Amino acid sequence: MNGTASGQRAHIGDLPIAVIPAKLVPAKAGSGNPLYENSKAVVDGDHLRAVSIQPDLVWSQLGTITGDNIRDRVAIIGLVPVPKTRDPSETDLAMMRLALLAAEQAAEKGEVPVGSVVARGGEILAVAANEREATGDPTAHAELLAIRRAAATIGSWRLTGCTLYATLEPCPMCAGALVNARVPRLVYGCDDPKAGAVRSLYRLCDDERLNHRLQVASGVLADECAAVLREFFQAQRAMGKK
């Protein structure tokens, strides 16, 4: 089955979805085109999709993947279908897995592996990871980038009806951005005892003195989120980096 791009907003049908890694290979050997390293496979019921998690692009397509950046078709292999469910917790797990994929890709680039997703219903508005090393921007945290890109996608700074997913408890800057963007719900993975501003050190997201408060769910895939960070910093120390 051949697929066509559905645009920069990635609507994943009836959530929840299951996100798993996919091996994506060029259809023509020796074509010189790069692999779709920034894409991952998604199983949506009986449908196969690919979701790009490149920094400035989010899209999905059914079946065989094509794209503006790669002329030759690529094939998805190694997919495992999963049944649909309407359990909200399953939706959270699926979105957090996508955030984890973004975090893992950040680690490969030498960035602290934190990933974030902004979704509204069944629509993924933004996927981001830390980009401080690449950009030299101290504010380029995954959550802040995801908020900016989601706002650009919908054309409004008010992210009403959205949920932000983050693999790590947001810091004061990112928690403040969530409040200012009027995000109604936050789901995060592991706590950050040194900088967490949602539960660990402060409670900015549900402080009654502020003009907006969020519903917060923590501990979603906490072990997996913590493991990505732990492995990254262990590797950094082994290379003599702090």
| Residue positions annotated with a catalytic role | 143
> What's the token pair of residue 80?
């495992």
Q: Please choose, from the candidates 208, 203, 176, the residue with its C-alpha nearest in 3D space to the C-alpha of residue 191.
A: 203
Q: 139 CB contacts (<8 Å, ≥6 apart)?
A: 173
Query: Is 186 in contact with 206 (CB distance < 8 Å)?
Result: no
Task: Please name the residue ranges forming H helices in the chain.
Answer: 88-108, 132-135, 142-154, 172-180, 222-238
SS3 184: coil
Q: Please choose, from the candidates 200, 155, 198, 156, the residue with its C-alpha nearest in 3D space to the C-alpha of residue 179.
A: 198
Q: Please choose, from the candidates 117, 115, 111, 114, the residue with its C-alpha nearest in 3D space to the C-alpha of residue 131.
A: 111
